[in-house]
Amino acid sequence: MPQQPPPAGGPGRPDRPGHPDGAARPDLPERVAATYGAEDLGTVPAFAGGFINFGYWAWLPEPADRPLTEDDRIRSEQDLYRLVLDTCDRPRGRTALEVGCGRGLGCALALKEFDFRSVIGLDAHPDQIARALEANAALLSEGAGPRRLEFVLGPAQRMPLPDGCADFVYSVEAAQHFRDLPGFAREAVRVLRPGGLFALTTFFARVPDAVRVLPELLPPYADGLDVPHLVDDVAAAFGAAGLRDVAVTPIGDGVWECYDRYMEQRPELRDKWPRQYLTAYQTGLLDYYLITASAPAD
């Protein structure tokens, strides 16, 4: 069985000794630790609903210029998860692992809408694991049988999970933070069962020059929150780790323009989160991608 979360030191909050408030400093870059710790990015209005992703907006009906609501924003975040989870053939009866699960809202969606037998949420930040335990308390307490949903504290490049524990490994808008993508790829292969499926979605640099330019354009790259990984290098790392049939699909046309439109229609958000992502997309520096692959069959 996967490693259990640390014992609770309060309602839904792991006990983390060694810090004045019981929390050990997470083994994360300083900016990442702060953003997902004290600052709690999931409470920023730009990420309504707490999913913390830019969203997938391809479902939006005409007219294209109609005002976008907060409900639209939340659906876009959910639909990004649905896009990824739809890549898993016949999820019923299978075990899924989300790497970088945050508050665990995507794990709950996977369990409820896709009928996985069980879902494991992994995150490197103890505060996010605490929030996931709290946000999903009802699901975690359901039933007397084996737990269908659980959350595990650990980094993507050193997952505290046994070999071959998952049929499907996925990650939604988290890998742009990973400093060791080859390590993550190797761990994904290790925890996947033979023939298991892999899916990832997030934003990456399109061209080599973007690795230099993006930190000049976007504060999250400049302050160390995000890493300007080149998409070709990412795909190569997955292949080198042993994943097969690596497929890279750009999906930026369903992400950037509508997200920017939502921000533009809300004056209270315009100065609280950089909107230069659309500029970076339109000038060919970065794009949003869906990457799928499979583990070796033997």
CATH code, domain carrying 25: 3.40.50.150
3-state class of 109 per DSSP? Answer: helix
pLDDT at residue 17, as a whole number? 30
Identify whether 3 is part of a domain. no
Q: Domain of 250?
A: 8-294
Please tell me the distance from the alpha carbon of residue 184 to that of residue 22, in angstroms, as a whole number: 29
Identify whether 232 is part of a domain. yes
Identify whether 131 is part of a domain. yes
Identify whether 22 is part of a domain. yes
C-alpha dihedral (266, 267, 272, 274), degrees to nearest 10: 70
pLDDT at residue 18, as a whole number? 29
If we measure between CA atoms, which residue out of 85, 66, 75, 67 comes closest to residue 48? 75
Identify whether 163 is part of a domain. yes
pLDDT at residue 298, as a whole number? 77
3-state class of 289 per DSSP? Answer: strand
Can you say how many angstroms the Cα of residue 155 is from the centroid of all Cα atoms in its chain? 13
pLDDT at residue 11, as a whole number? 30
pLDDT at residue 61, as a whole number? 72
- Give the burial class of 71: count Cβ atoms within 10 A of its Cβ; 0-12 exposed, 13-18 middle, 19 or more buried: exposed
Number of domains in the chain: 1
Q: Which residues contact 64 (CB under 8 A, 6 or more apart)?
A: none
Identify whether 44 is part of a domain. yes
pLDDT at residue 141, as a whole number? 87
Residue 102 is encoded by which pair of tokens?
């945050």
Regions of the chain with pLDDT less than 50: 1-24, 144
Identify whether 2 is part of a domain. no
pLDDT at residue 59, as a whole number? 84
Identify whether 130 is part of a domain. yes
> Where do we find the tokens 């992994």?
122
